[in-house]
Amino acid sequence: MKTPSKQAYVPFVSVANMMKIVLHIGIERVMADLVQEIEADFRRWGKFDKTPRVASHSDVGVIELMPTSDGETYGFKYVNGHPSNMKKGLQTVTAFGLLASVDTGYPILLSEMTILTALRTAATSAMAAKWLAPKGARVMALIGNGAQAEFQALAFKAICGIDEVRFYDIDPAATAKCVANLQGRGIKLTACKTPEAAIEGAQIITTVTADKQLATILTDNMVGSGVHINGVGGDCPGKTELHRDILLRSSIFVEYPAQTRVEGEIQQLDADHPVTELWQVITGELAGRTSAAQVTLFDSVGFAIEDFSALRYIHSKLAETGMCEQLDIVADPDDPRDLFGMLLRSA
């Protein structure tokens, strides 16, 4: 039987190797690098194919495909969101992703993306806050202390200079987990018994809850002037975290309006409610924060270009780290027309 050629092998980054890569580079360094990669791709926004993610919804969750291409490389992510999984001892979100060459259609990377999605989500949050948060912000309230929380805290420390995080979750054990995991990382950690206590003194409010419902994590009277809200948890139809009145007095920034109007906090508003696309702020086309009293909201739902950036970043680190496996997943007959003959000769 023929030994597969080099083109037949595809680098595969397993969960074990992803963890090794991240710890080898450093968690905060990886997120700072991801911000640079995502910003660079947002600056060339026009080069990308863009479409809302393809979603298959059920009563218990959602399974989605998130594709994009810059004309040279194609990428997609498979991701689920099942809030009830926690009760079964399973992750709420799992993911994997692929990059392929547009020239040949051959895959060039297959990777786990459960960990990578947590990293890129936090990096995108901090990237948005870098452009939108009030000047000199140092305190963040983090409401919802599940699997994403520590990543958010470290991203805001690394990119925005946050040095105090005030935690709240309806489950005190989740908060205790966050505080324990983040000990010794240069952040003042305060566990709070109410969301109101967490918000006290915070210039940035991050909501990252998981329940698939039209929830009201923040009411209008909880949000004062001049804050930046990072709304992460409202990310599919019928799932929100903020009271509508907060939206009506906020300057709202989104990734891709056609997707966010269906999935984000702004699903509560009229379809023509004005929003600003984040890439326009990064390129200088439109303004971000314009006054100290302004309430800014990043209505984050996650977009395929961010995953594309993250996958390309990991791909670029494989030569340096060697932390991958080679999978034989592309058929490679001697004669490209003789796939059947290859099958027969394998016996």
What is residue 237's predicted lDDT score, i.e. its pLDDT?
A: 83
Q: What is the dihedral of CA 62, 55, 76, 33, to 10 degrees?
A: -60
For residues 223-240, average pLDDT: 90
Residue 268 predicted with pLDDT over 60: yes
For 64-113, the pLDDT digits (tens) are 999 999 999 999 999 998 989 989 999 989 999 999 999 999 999 999 99
- Looking at 33, 41, 169, 235, which residue is catalytic? 235
- Both tokens of 269, joined, read 């508003």
Domains of the chain: 6-115+305-345 (3.30.1780.10), 121-302 (3.40.50.720)
SS3 205: strand
* Cα–Cα dist 124/116, whole Å: 12
What is residue 115's predicted lDDT score, i.e. its pLDDT?
A: 97
Residue 211 predicted with pLDDT over 80: no
pLDDT-derived band at 7 (thresholds 50, 70, 90) equals low
Cβ atoms within 10 Å of 293's Cβ, excluding its own: 10
Name the H helices within 92-240.
114-132, 149-160, 172-181, 195-199
235 has catalytic annotation:
yes
What is residue 50's predicted lDDT score, i.e. its pLDDT?
A: 98
Give DSSP secondary structure letters for 28-59: HHHHHHHHHHHHHHHHTGGGS-----EEEE-S
